[in-house]
Amino acid sequence: MKKNCVFCGEGVKDKTKEHIIPQWLIRLTGDSNREINLGVNYPKQDEWVTNPDSFIRKFSISSFQFPACSKCNSDYSKLENDTKTIIEKLLNKKKVNIGEVDTLLDWFDKVRIGFWLGYYFLNKNMTSITPQFAIAKRLASKDRMLAVYHYSDISDGINFVGVDTLAFQHSPTCFGLRINEYYFFNLSADFLFSKNLGFPYLANPAYITENNHSSLMTTGELVKGKDKVKSRILKREVLDTPVQFIQPIFKDYLGVDSNNDVYKDNDYVTRNSLFQNEGKGAIFVYESGGRYTGIANRNFEVSNNIDDLSIDVSLEEWVRKFSRMVYDYQIHMLTYTPSIHLLDKATQKSIRLQLKNAKKHNKLLMDFMIEKGHF
Ligand SMILES: [Zn+2]
Burial of 241 (0-12, 13-18, 19+ CB in 10 A): middle
The phi and psi torsions of 278 (rounded to 5 degrees) equal -100, 0
CA of 6 to the centre of ligand 1 (A): 7
Among residues 182, 177, 224, the alpha carbon closest in space to that of 199 is found at: 224
CA 284 to ligand 1 centroid distance, Å: 32
Per-residue confidence (pLDDT) for residue 254, from 0 to 100: 65
- Residue 368 included in any domain: yes
- 16 domain-assigned: no
Query: Which amino acid, one-letter code, is at 2?
Result: K
| Whole-angstrom distance, CA of residue 39 vs CA of residue 42 | 9
pLDDT, averaged per 10 consecutive residues of the chain (375 residues), comes to 82 90 92 78 74 74 86 93 96 94 97 88 67 79 96 93 89 95 96 96 88 74 92 90 95 66 89 94 90 95 88 92 93 90 90 88 80 60
Cβ 38 vs Cβ 63: under 8 Å: no
CB 323 within 8 A of CB 368: no
**What's residue 58's pLDDT?**
75
Does residue 168 belong to any structural domain of this protein?
yes
Domain for residue 64, yes or no? no
pLDDT for the residue 99? 97
Predicted confidence at residue 62, as pLDDT, reads 80
Question: Is residue 49 one of the residues assigned to a domain?
Answer: no
Please report the pLDDT score of residue 80 as a whole number: 95
Q: Quick check: is 153 in a domain?
A: yes
**Within a domain: residue 93?**
no
pTM of the model: 0.92
Total domains present in the chain: 1
Distance of CA 250 to the CA centre of its chain: 17
Residues 105 and 341: their CA atoms lie apart, in Å, by: 33
pLDDT of residue 47: 78
- Is residue 179 in some structural domain? yes
Find the 7 Cα to ligand 1 centroid distance in Å: 5
363/165 Cα distance (integer angstroms): 10
What is the pLDDT, as a whole number, of residue 239?
95
How far does the centroid of ligand 1 lie from the alpha carbon of residue 73, in Å? Answer: 7
Range of the domain at 182: 116-372
